[in-house]
Amino acid sequence: MLKDSTMAEAEALIRTTTGDLEIVVKLGGEYSTVEGINFHKLCFVCSAPNCQGSLDSGFIVDGGKPYCVNCHNQYFSQPCLKCNKPIFEEAFRALNCQWHLACFVCAACGQPMYDGVFHMEGGKVYCDTDHQRLFAVTCYACRKLIGPGDSEIKAIDQKWHDRCFNCQKCRRNLNGKRFVRRGGFPFCHNCK
């Protein structure tokens, strides 16, 4: 019956599909089609220069070329910032970094940060509470947090809100003014 059929008809009769890999048994032998490109069975190998391994156990197409999973991970995957393993599933991305969802947890308390509110210190992520507890700068006078929008002064080996850097006696603000240090606190020249 195949003798009387055209090549296209014969191909249509014996074409099978397995997942993303289409295998066609043609009159001249078996070949694979990936993204419209045909490969002889023996030529269907990893495109990585140092591999050339079989793709029978699975492959990933990148740039029109098939790669074994290991080589694709090595050459193309951006790793998780926490565990340094490749990411294949859903990921959290921020600040040009990415994490597995299971790895995107506070470095101090281990709680997941699915709300997306986090702070980064030294390549690690922290929830707002732990970041304030571990890294926040407090004003030497009022002991309250010096936030990102607050103006601060560094003086007498301490950090102060600019509004809190006052003479300890008359309470006059000393921001930008000369002062005298006494007992770790500033005093204006009139109150020294």
Using one digit for the tens of pLDDT, what is the confidence trace for 11-54? 443 344 444 444 444 434 576 777 777 777 777 889 888 888 88
Q: What is the CATH number of the domain that holds 14?
A: 2.10.110
- Read off the amino acid at residue 174: L
Domain boundary among 52, 75, 98: 75
Q: Could you list the residue range(s) of the whole structural domain that residue 25 is in?
A: 2-75
Assess whether 56 and 88 both reside in one domain.
no
Q: Please say which residue of 120, 135, 150 terminates a domain.
A: 135
CATH of the domain at 173: 2.10.110.10
Please check whether residue 187 is in contact with residue 158, taking contact to mean a CB–CB distance below 8 angstroms: no
The predicted pLDDT at position 165 comes to 94
| Tokens representing residue 81 in the block | 């910032």
Q: Are 163 and 106 in the same domain?
A: no
Q: What would the mean pLDDT of 188-192 be, rounded to a whole number?
A: 88
Tell me: the pLDDT tens digits for 88-130?
778 888 888 888 889 999 999 999 987 778 888 888 899 988 9
Residues 153 and 180 occupy one common structural domain: yes
Whose tokens are 């002064």? That residue is 153
Per-residue pLDDT tens over the stretch 150-176: 888 999 999 999 999 999 999 999 988
Q: Looking at residues 137-148, what average pLDDT do you find?
A: 87
Q: Which pLDDT belongs to residue 19?
A: 45
- pTM for the full predicted model: 0.48
Q: Is residue 86 located within the same domain as residue 59?
A: no
Among 49, 75, 101, give the residue marking a domain's end. 75
Whether 7 and 69 share a structural domain: yes
Tally of structural domains, the chain: 3
Q: How far apart are the first and last CA of the chain?
A: 112
Same domain, 7 and 71: yes
Q: Are residues 144 and 105 in the same domain?
A: no
Question: What average pLDDT does the structure give for the chain?
Answer: 79
